[in-house]
Amino acid sequence: AWGNLYIAESGSHSVRIVRRSDRRIFTLAGGLGAGYSPAGDAAGTRLANPNSLCISGNNLMILDGANSRLIRVPLSGICGING
């Protein structure tokens, strides 16, 4: 996870990751249009205006602004992104 770039894209209601190893961009959470879904698998989570990100320990914290919630995504669970 160190060296990767995480991007909160409010307009596309998604959080993206740019992998340091190969500079490829992947959607980590959201991207399915604005909405709300219970926290679970990050890829299937619907977001509405994610506007802040923070790394806390081995977790990525996402502030899902329009849904007034904080989502925790374990970074250890996203090491095997394929694309």
**pLDDT tens figures, 32-76:** 889 888 766 777 788 999 999 999 988 899 999 999 999 888 887
Which pLDDT score is estimated for 17? 92
Question: Is the distance from CB of 62 to CB of 73 less than 8 angstroms?
Answer: yes
pTM for the model: 0.82
- Report CA Rg, the chain: 12
CA separation for the pair 79, 11 (Å, rounded): 26
**Is residue 49 within 8 Å of residue 62, measured between CB atoms?**
no
> How far, in whole angstroms, is CA 75 from its chain's centroid?
10
- pLDDT band of 31, cuts 50, 70, 90: confident
Look at residue 2 and tell me whether its pLDDT is greater than 60: yes
